[in-house]
Amino acid sequence: MRHDPDHTPTPDVIEIRLEDALRYALAIGGVLVLLWPGARGFSETLGWLPLWLLAMPAVALWALRGFPLPGATHETAAASVVRRRRSGPQARRRTRDWTPRVLSRAA
Instruction: Look at residue 25 and tell me if it is in a domain.
Output: yes
Number of domains in the chain: 1
Start-to-end CA distance of the chain, whole Å, equals 91
Q: Helix (H, G, I), strand (E, B), or coil: what is residue 47?
A: strand
pTM of the model: 0.56
In this prediction, residues 88-102 reach a mean pLDDT of: 77
Please state, in angstroms and rounded to a whole number, the distance separating the CA atoms of residues 49 and 29.
9
In this prediction, residues 66-81 reach a mean pLDDT of: 71
Instruction: Look at residue 50 and tell me if it is in a domain.
Output: yes
Please state, in angstroms and rounded to a whole number, the distance separating the CA atoms of residues 31 and 13.
27
Instruction: Look at residue 101 and tell me if it is in a domain.
Output: no
Instruction: Look at residue 78 and tell me if it is in a domain.
Output: no
Instruction: Look at residue 104 and tell me if it is in a domain.
Output: no
Cβ-contact 76, 38 below 8 angstroms = no
Please state, in angstroms and rounded to a whole number, the distance separating the CA atoms of residues 26 and 41.
17
- Reported as a pLDDT band with limits 50, 70 and 90, residue 74 is low
**Residue-wise pLDDT tens digits, 8-29:** 777 788 888 999 999 999 999 9
Instruction: Look at residue 95 and tell me if it is in a domain.
Output: no
Among 47, 49, 57, 48, smallest CA distance to 25 is for 57
**Residue-wise pLDDT tens digits, 25-69:** 999 999 999 999 999 999 899 899 999 999 999 999 999 989 888
Containing structural domain, residue 42: 11-68
Please state, in angstroms and rounded to a whole number, the distance separating the CA atoms of residues 63 and 18.
12
